[in-house]
Structure 1
Amino acid sequence: MFQDKVLACKECGREFEFTASEQEFYAEKGFTNEPGRCPECRAARKANRNAGGGNSYGGRQERQMFSVTCSSCGAEAQVPFQPRGDKPVYCRDCFQSRNRW
């Protein structure tokens, strides 16, 4: 059913073999795209991604936080967006109590 294919890596340009067994694995997992990178570039990309220190931002810079005064209780709070001033801004506790379903 599947036959080995030769693909070109979009990262380094080298050719690599996409074996019939790899194709079968991809099909079983429901993957519709062929791999775009050779095994070496995939491993390097994964290593770089995992070297980000384990934070949830995948190695990106920390999110900038802004100091605000809660519109409900008046407490000082930190929010991950710059308030525009046209809408109320709440501390975590007030936000959660207002948004309970």
Structure 2
Amino acid sequence: MEYHDKVLKCAECGAEFVFTAGEQMFFADKGFKNEPKRCKACKAKRAEGGGHAAPARTETKTNCSQCGKETTVPFRPTQGRPVFCRECFQQRRAIGAA
């Protein structure tokens, strides 16, 4: 099949970009069915996480169920389940692995 350069419009910024014959051949070799939707700049920005903020990590102050020390955990504790400080958690993990 013979490929020719195509001018496409970026779905994100609306700019026109060229989908080269070489890129088309690469897409065909890989079995890709769809043409690219974004220009190289928008594609790169999207790949690095452009604009999509990661959800804030929930940190909760609580008391360790084993030693009673106040600690901060990276989750919201569930009622009825024990919560451990780092030291007690690592001790329990070491005992369980042995």
TM range (shorter): 0.5 to 0.7
Residues 22-63 of structure 1 deviation map (CA, whole Å, 9 limit, x = unaligned):
352x678x69565331123234546774xx9xxxxx754642
Give the gaps of 5 or more residues in structure 1.
Answer: 53-57
Identity value in percent: 48
- Structure number with greater Rg is 2
Who is 2:10 aligned against? Answer: 9
Asked if residue 93 in structure 1 is aligned to residue 87 in structure 2, the reply is yes
Who is 2:21 aligned against? Answer: 20
Who is 1:55 aligned against? Answer: none
Q: CA deviation at 1:11?
A: 0.6
Distance 1:27 1:65, change over 3 A: farther
2:63, 2:31 → 1: CA distance? 48
Give the gaps of 5 or more residues in structure 2.
Answer: none
Q: How many residues align?
A: 92
Superposition RMSD in Å:
3.6
The normalised TM-score by structure 2 is 0.59
The partner residue of 1:82 within 72, 76, 91 is 76
The normalised TM-score by structure 1 is 0.57
Amino acid at match of 2:42: C
1:7, 1:22 → 2: CA distance? 13
